[in-house]
Amino acid sequence: MIKTETSVTINRPLAEVFDFVTTIENNPQWQSSTLEAKRTSEGPVGVGATSLVELKFLGRRIEAAMEITEYEPNKKVSFKTTSGPTPATGSNSFEAISEGETKVTFLLEADVGGFFKLAEPLVARASKRDSEANATTLKDILEAQAGGVH
């Protein structure tokens, strides 16, 4: 079992950060391993909403279906994989630090198997490195949209 937790503070309002992160189609902009991401369910984002993501991780293409399992606007979104090679769960938690400043914490737990099981320590390090890089990219994108990098 791999567990990765990463936090970042972004100089943007809570609602703006929450909206950007919870729009699955934005994932390829800030998640280096995400090649494509799309919603597969109708209606508003919330518990039960589904999506399909195509990833490239450690040189392998992976397709995984995801489902939102918990949804609290401007607070938390949790998800699980419903198909794909690696059962995983995760959450994105959001907290207003001050007016215009938001802390986001990303948590991912994955039960690696098959090809990845043999390389679990490598997968754990790569997952942590990707998570930290993604958090930095997210911060850079959202702060640049504000009219300048802080």
Q: Find the range with the poorest average confidence among 32-41, 42-51, 82-91, 114-123.
A: 114-123
The structural domain count of the chain equals: 1
User: How much is the pLDDT for 146?
Assistant: 72
Write down the mean pLDDT value for the chain: 91
Give the long-range contacts of residues 127-132, CB within 8 A, separation 24 or more.
Answer: 127/2, 127/4, 128/4, 128/6, 130/31, 130/32, 130/33, 130/57, 131/4, 131/6, 131/106, 132/6
Q: What is the domain-level CATH number for residue 41?
A: 3.30.530.20
Instruction: Answer whether residue 61 is part of any domain.
Output: yes
What is the domain range of residue 112? 2-145
User: How much is the pLDDT for 149?
Assistant: 41
How sure is the predictor about 115, in pLDDT bands with cuts at 50, 70 and 90?
low
> H/E element holding 25?
none
Instruction: Answer whether residue 150 is part of any domain.
Output: no
